[in-house]
Structure 1
């Protein structure tokens, strides 16, 4: 059979536009436009990566005479994979997880995936250039946070650091719905921001050990699930919701006191799954199977070990509480792995075969 090839540069503009409208992420649009000059001429560049950068939040702190000025920052987690099968999958990870942030100037900053700090002094260990068409690039998750604005000419005090809260963006945002864009949880208050109006309303809630649902339009608060019935422990605890279709998980993260450099169970986790039939949380002991849970500063998500080689499955990757006051030496340098099998955590660096999904960059990235 005669081998025929198609001249993609002559592809009709209206079909290119139809395909572009169905691309789910910004990175997919960038890769599509990178095919050839005619594709770039026919399709406009995607919108800025952070559509909420113009929304600002001013928090009135009882410890400060002037309000604390925040803006909404966005980071994106990508999985980068080679186009062809790697030669030694047991020695080289089949994916590289990176968290980046696009600055208003157009620069891309590499962030520590478990925190919000920029990873510095590693440019000599990265490729000089990066062609999106040379790799599979998959957007894994987006994260949002309140960031101290540049016009804030002072550092936050220790008591003020607790004001940085959770930012949630509507996952099913309707272009015809101008009533809801994002919600900010700060100091047990929910602030709702619309697309047209900067602030729609503010409500106060108490949410410890409880699962609350806030209607973004009416601001009505309901409690669809019974409160957790769990024992109290002497540890700093936080709660996190993670969606893994079709299930919803609730993770209770506990940090115990311990000296810097100690190995062992400084971190404890309780994992629950929502039983929709009974409207209650049921305990999950050892049921992640071939999945790994990642708990980053701004986002939490599951990845499959079958899809991403180089993962330690049935475990949780999360930040270590012992955090230095300087930027990380390399991505993941201050993280731990919690094993659901034995209920203990250890530094990520103690698992070199599984830590390489973050650093150093895989050898196939330079080939």
Structure 2
């Protein structure tokens, strides 16, 4: 055969297709892979059938783990009925196969008042969908209207690959008191981590990254969670340099982990005392962002997020490329959730400026 002759990807052996398909990270990638041709489609099963058998996943008799997906969606012109073809939204599969519930990114509540602006049918051949991240939440059974379980502030599932089986998964979570817990498939109940020889037993955030589960403790130290449900220290703490910069004697702190461009970041927020009201001069926030240098096992402060925007939501935090915001949001900015306010902060990391915006002014699809 002429070495310059190009072979079609349709000629790939079945075993190679299988290996490629099982390394895809998102359900949308799997759907696109299977849409190439019949040989690609037969190499791996469709994700909807897998997901339908996995979620909601029973943790306790009346407690279930539910999964939802954040998408950047581009619909055909006019389909959205508002002149804005791009959306940033969260979809959760309902009990009825093929049907989706649209949830608010910030409040996790079902959105009904904007459904008339959204297309009733999503056709992947006409609509461009980019999967941003997956999030997991614990809910009571549907007999109690599936309300959110308030005892857990964040949960992750591991392994989190598209092709992973439920009987191999574990659910790790941080409860409202900052304690770290775990539930393994088949367990009757969850258990809490016992910390030996450490004064620190409270954790701010947890994330699945680079095939592992990572947590950040109350002093900004990153730790890896081992399969034996033990923590291994990975980095030195982040010192609270933002306290002096914000100029408050009694600030509150929060730390969120964000995966962006294959790197792990931590966003430290320092907020002074003051009421939460639109444009309030009494309330001042300051943000510091650090990137994890795995080779040196340390945090490095960054002054730019590049072309990404960080969204800090209640049950998950994620990065969105600015091109997916279609001019309705800015790159190199941080958008935190403030569910008790009618407005929210927008922090520009380039000039370190903070402004307040009303939800109705922030037109990125169904964000409010």
TM-score, normalization: structure 1? 0.69
* Shift in Å, 1:79: 1.2
Q: Which residue of 2 aligns with 1:135?
A: 127
Corresponding residue for residue 96 of structure 2: 105
Contact 2:312/2:318, CA 8 A, preserved across alignment: yes
Q: 1:300 to 1:167 in 2, by over 3 A?
A: same
Give the superposition deviation at 1:316.
Answer: 0.8
Give the whole-Å Cα distance in 2 for the aligned partners of 1:109 and 1:261. Answer: 30
Structure 2 residue 253 is matched with structure 1 residue 262? no
Q: After the TM superposition, which residues 315-334 of structure 1 pair with which residues of structure 2 at under 5 Å, given as runs?
A: 315-323=333-341, 334=343
Preserved contact between residue 34 and residue 133 of structure 1 (Cα < 8 Å): no
Partner residue in 2 for 1:293: 310
Aligned to 2:230: 220
Checking the alignment, whether the CA contact within 8 Å between 2:153 and 2:173 is kept in structure 1 is yes
Distance in 1 between residues matched to 2:295 and 2:45, nearest whole Å: 47
Of residues 65, 68, 76, the one that matches 1:75 is 68
Q: Contact (CA 8 Å) 1:166, 1:185: kept in 2 or not? A: yes
CA–CA distance in structure 2, aligned partners of residues 348 and 291 of structure 1? 21
Q: By how many angstroms is 1:220 displaced?
A: 1.9
Q: Distance in 1 between matches of 2:101 and 2:119?
A: 14
The reply to whether residue 168 of structure 1 matches residue 177 of structure 2 is no
RMSD after superposition? 4.2
Give the secondary structure class of the aligned counterpart of 2:54: coil
Q: Is the 8 A contact 2:223 2:235 kept in 1?
A: no
Matched, 1:312 2:330: yes
Q: Would the alpha carbon gap of residues 306 and 100 (structure 1) be closer, same or farther in structure 2, given more than 3 Å must change?
A: closer
Measure how far apart 1:225 and its partner are. 1.7
Which of residues 242, 262, 273 in structure 1 aligns to 2:291?
273
CA distance in 2, matches of 1:14, 1:245: 31
CA distance in 2, matches of 1:15, 1:287: 42
- Residue 254 of structure 1, CA deviation: 3.9
- Alpha carbons 1:71, 1:147 under 8 Å: kept: yes
Question: Deviations for 1:88-131, whole angstroms, at most 9, x for unmatched residues?
Answer: xxx97674211111122333111111221111222222223321
- Equivalent residue number for residue 202 of structure 1: 192
**Alignment match of 1:51 (pick from 51, 54, 58):** 54
CA distance in structure 1 between the aligned counterparts of 2:46 and 2:140, rounded to whole angstroms:
29
Seen in structure 2, the aligned counterparts of structure 1 residues 124 and 92 have a Cα distance that, compared at 3 Å, is closer
Deviation at 1:224, TM superposition (A): 2.0
Question: What's 2:259 paired with?
Answer: 243
In 1, Cα distance between the equivalents of 2:22 and 2:229?
33
| Secondary structure of 2:51's aligned partner | coil
Q: Residue 337 of structure 1: which of 338, 346, 353 is its match?
A: 346
Report the counterpart of residue 5 of structure 2 in structure 1.
none
Pick one of 192, 197, 201 that aligns with 2:182: 192
Cα displacement (A) at 1:139: 0.9
Q: Which has the higher contact order (CA 8 A, sep 6+)?
A: 1
CA distance in structure 1 between the aligned counterparts of 2:324 and 2:119, rounded to whole angstroms: 25
Aligned match of 1:356:
363
Gaps of 5+ in 2: 1-10, 195-200, 203-216
* CA-CA distance at 1:183 after TM superposition: 1.0
Structure 1 residues 241 and 149: CA distance shift in structure 2, 3 A: same
Measured at CA, do residues 136 and 233 of structure 1 come closer, stay the same or move farther in structure 2, by a change above 3 Å? farther
Cα distance in 2, alignment partners of residues 35 and 290 from structure 1: 30
Matched, 1:211 2:221: yes
Larger deviation, residues 202-211 vs 110-119: 202-211
In the alignment of these two chains, the number of paired residues is: 318
- Give 1:51 shift: 2.4
Q: Are the equivalent residues in 2 in contact too, given 1:266–1:345 (CA < 8 A)?
A: no
The answer as to whether partners of 2:220 and 2:255 remain within 8 angstroms in 1 is: no
Contact 1:16 1:42 in 2 (8 A): no
Corresponding residue for 2:212? none
What corresponds to 2:141 in structure 1?
149
1:287 Cα deviation from its structure 2 partner = 1.4
TM-score norm. by structure 2 comes to 0.69
Task: State the secondary structure of the residue aligned to 1:48.
Answer: helix
> Any conservation in 1 of the 2:335–2:347 contact (CA below 8 Å)?
yes
